[in-house]
Amino acid sequence: MDKSSKIYIAGHRGLVGSAIVENLKSKGYINLLTRTHKELELTNQKAVESFFETEKPDYVILAAAKVGGIVANNVYRADFIYENMMIQNNVIHQSYKHNVKKLLFLGSTCIYPKNAPQPMKEEYLLTDTLEYTNEPYAIAKIAGIKMCESYNLQYGTNFISVMPTNLYGPNDNFDLEKSHVLPALIRKIYLAKLLNESDFDTVKKNLGVDTTQEAIDYLKSFGVSSNSVEIWGSGKPKREFLWSKDMADACVFIMENRNFSDTFDKDQKEIRNTHINIGTGIDISIKELALTIKEIIGFEGKLVFNTEKPDGTMKKLTDVTKLNELGWKHTVELEEGIKKVYDWYVTNN
């Protein structure tokens, strides 16, 4: 990529997209193309076609998707499969039609089987049954990988897929129902601490409600009170977390250094599993995560585990050998990242 190449970052206001824009700017890329969801509905085939026809980007980073935590994935199953398939079909196909030089597709490590051997290597894709709670989302992401591979093989495009582990950082979604575990626990534990300190004005402002009773009732429905916080599931599942700015750096590194033709052996007859895992290779249980967040925030109440809520996959640790061998490694460890994102959250809410 030249510094003046026209690079379209789809989803530039999201957790990952915003970090990618910042990373590209810091490296001197000056011709970044962005559209908000309101300006360009990526599920709309005609709108996406007309955008590519007019703008003709040189490179595309596809960080727009319907994204959410375990409960959102499990409840809004149709939306997750439909919107993700439509977004990626439209963007990948128009990138082919308009001669985009390279595209980066962002998948997720939930593409791997529920009981995959650990750590999970790229070649474990499609070897067994998926985790039920996010099966529709995972199927959409698998279709995206296969779409990139198929266009590359049939049409000679240069579309690369990366499979990130669970991500966190500034501009994340902190919704108590729909978000991922790390932002949800930061917000729940922070609000419990404020309740404990009787700082009701900050609680009301955070929740956008008028009365203290409304705030208390609302938080109670999520198991948050002045002396306890509900954690979904048993606390036993393990997750691996990557700082969003490290994720962005890995994406730009791959855009700068990797082509589809580097991802398979020339003598290979059946070309598959060309995607690349992105993670730290380190995981932690949800209980340990909650205790770390509690310690950082300084909340002294109890953690209550609600086993009526799903655990999801018990373990999904990525094997990052491929990525490390390319010369990239994460830089921000979890505790440091939690402190940064907690500071960001308090400053911005």
Contact footprint for ligand F7E (CB under 6 A): 69-70, 73, 108, 110, 133-134, 137, 166, 179-181, 184-185, 231-233, 237, 239, 286, 309-312
CA distance 182 to 160: 28
Task: Indicate the residue among 167 and 254 with the shorter CB distance to ligand NDP.
Answer: 167
Instruction: Decide: 253 and 328 in contact? Cβ < 8 Å.
Output: yes
> Which one, 98 or 309, has the nearer CB to ligand F7E?
309
- Choice among 8, 137, 168, 190 that is catalytic: 137
Q: Does the footprint of ligand NDP cover residue 166 (CB under 6 A)? A: yes
Mask of contacts with ligand NDP, 54-83, x by CB under 6 A?
A: ---------xxxxx---------------x
Q: Is 131 in the site for ligand NDP (CB under 6 A)?
A: no
CA distances from 137 to 24, 40, 66, 168 (A): 28, 22, 9, 19
Residue 32 is a binding residue for ligand NDP (CB under 6 A): no
Query: Is 330 known to sit in a ligand binding site?
Result: no
Within 10 angstroms of residue 100's Cβ, the number of other Cβ atoms is: 23
Residue 331 annotated in ligand binding: no
Residue 198 — left, alpha, or beta (φ > 0 → left; ψ -120 to 50 → alpha)?
Answer: left
Question: Which CB sits closer to ligand NDP, 14 or 195?
Answer: 14
User: Could you give phi then psi for residue 8, rounded to 5 degrees?
Assistant: -90, 120
Distance, first Cα to last Cα, the chain? 37
318 is in an annotated binding site: no
**Residue 5 marked ligand-binding:** no
Q: Of 42 and 92, which CB lies nearer to ligand NDP in the complex structure?
A: 42
What's the CA gap between 271 and 283, in Å, rounded?
A: 30
Instruction: Give the Å distances, CA to CA, from 191 to 146, 176, 301.
Output: 43, 11, 12
Nearest to 255 by CA among 55, 105, 88, 150: 105
Nearest residue to 331 (alpha-carbon basis) of 209, 246, 257, 256: 246
- Residue 184 binds: one of ligand NDP, ligand F7E, none (C-beta under 5 to 8 A by kind): ligand F7E
Residue from 7, 9, 16, 130 that binds ligand NDP (CB under 6 A)?
16
59 flagged as catalytic: no
Task: Work out which of 41, 175, 199, 311 binds ligand NDP, going by CB under 6 A.
Answer: 41
88 binds, among ligand NDP, ligand F7E, none (CB under 5 to 8 A by kind): none
Judge whether 169 is annotated as a binding position. Answer: no
239 binds, among ligand F7E, ligand NDP, none (CB under 5 to 8 A by kind): ligand F7E
Numbered residues of the known binding site: 11-17, 106-109, 141, 164-167, 180, 188, 232, 239, 311
- Residues of this chain that interact with ligand NDP (CB under 6 A) are 11, 13-17, 36-37, 40-43, 63-67, 83, 87, 106, 108, 164, 166-167, 173, 180
